[in-house]
Structures are given as C-alpha cells and as structure tokens.
A = this chain, B = another copy of it.
C-alpha cells in the first residue's frame, strides 16, 4: 500500500511497483490509510511521514504491517524514532531503485520464507543485495552508492535494453534536473571497475541505450 498526499508521488510509486509485479493499493491521508489497511491487510505500507491529517508515525502504530517511511531529507534522526523492528525509511527525493530495494529488503526480513537468494549473477559478475558486495570473476570490487544502484538496475534488467532516460528515471532521484551525460560518466566508472575483463557485459547501443548481457555462446 502506498500512502502519500501528493498524487504525483503516489502515481510514480504505484505505477513503478505494479510494473514490478506488486499488487498496489493507495491512500491519500492517514485516515484513509488506516481504513484501507484494516480491510486489506497489506504486506507492507509505504508511508509519507508528513500527512495532512495524522502524523505518519501515528498511522504506523495503528497498522499491523511493516512500514517503509518517506521522510524529508532534513528530518533529523529523532523524527524516525518510531521505527519498529522490520521498518525502514527512505528520504525524499528518492529514486525508484532505492525504494524498491528497501521494499524487498523489508519483505525479506518479515516474510517467513527462509533466506531467499539475494544474489544476482550474470556470467562471472555477482552482486549481493544484502551486503551490497560485488564481485567480478571472484575478485571483490568496491562501488560508490550510485555505482551500486546503477549496476543493480542493470543486473535486475539483464538482457533488456535500457535507454538513458529510463536509467535516469530509476536510478537517479525523481527531482534530478541534469541531463543524461551523468549516465555516461557512471557507465564509464562501472566499466572500469567491473567490466575491464572479457567477456564484456555492458554494451552500448548507439542512440538507443545500454544493455548488460552475456555475449552469445557462439561468437
């Protein structure tokens, strides 16, 4: 369930989550949120801390589901003192990558399912979502936060062609105003750090985008 009073954020999140295969309900204020949650028993609630009627933390108390809070960046730590075990938070403005990663992490922790694989693997490139570690050919590689998010997005969508606009929309914060040049820079960084050996996995499709894929067996 997605709870936010701004329609644009609500739509952004619910569309993105539906696309990823989640079933999504929405609410625009705390009152509605509590009602819907009672009826539908969602597995997880994405909840804006700043709501017109009730405080988000207050809402969380009345909901029997793990919560992923959305908070303003300048919110000091004590603001989220109401975090229960299993909850988590993301600061606005977020990127879709960020939110989805946190959602999956929360669900993983609260679900009974015993240790589902958090390892992504493409050829000899491996990424652990939990520990945020990355290996290429057995050798561990250190990545900055943005590099990690970008690589994660690539690996989740391995084999699919991604345009720079798509990448910008998912990996960068939704209010990022710059141009797509920054994507080129980060692809360059990633290539140097994790794609400097054969077989090359990150491929450029001129004037189309990028794709991470294992080259076909018979070249």
Contacts and interface: CB of A to CB of B under 8 A. Distances in A.
B78 A164 contact: yes
Interface in A155-175: 159-161, 164-165, 168-169
A130 B206 contact: no
Interface size class of A (residues with CB under 8 A): 35 or more
Contacts of A139: 218
A8 B60 CA distance: 11
Contact of A84 (B15, B80, B138, B164): B15
B161 A130 contact: yes
A179 B131 contact: no
B79 A165 contact: yes
Q: Give the interface centre of A16, A85, A145 by most chain B CB atoms within 10 Å.
A: A85
A83 interface: yes
A185 to B, nearest CB: 13
A8 B61 contact: yes
Nearest to A179: B78
A132 interface: yes
A15 B86 contact: yes
B208 A145 contact: yes
A165 B102 CA distance: 14
A140 B208 contact: no
B165 A78 contact: yes
Interface of A: 7-8, 11-12, 15-16, 18-19, 61, 76-81, 83-86, 89, 96, 109, 130-132, 138-140, 144-145, 159-161, 164-165, 168-169, 176-180, 205-208, 211, 213, 216, 218-219
11 contacts: A18-B85, A19-B86, A76-B179, A78-B164, A79-B178, A85-B96, A130-B160, A131-B160, A131-B161, A131-B213, A140-B219
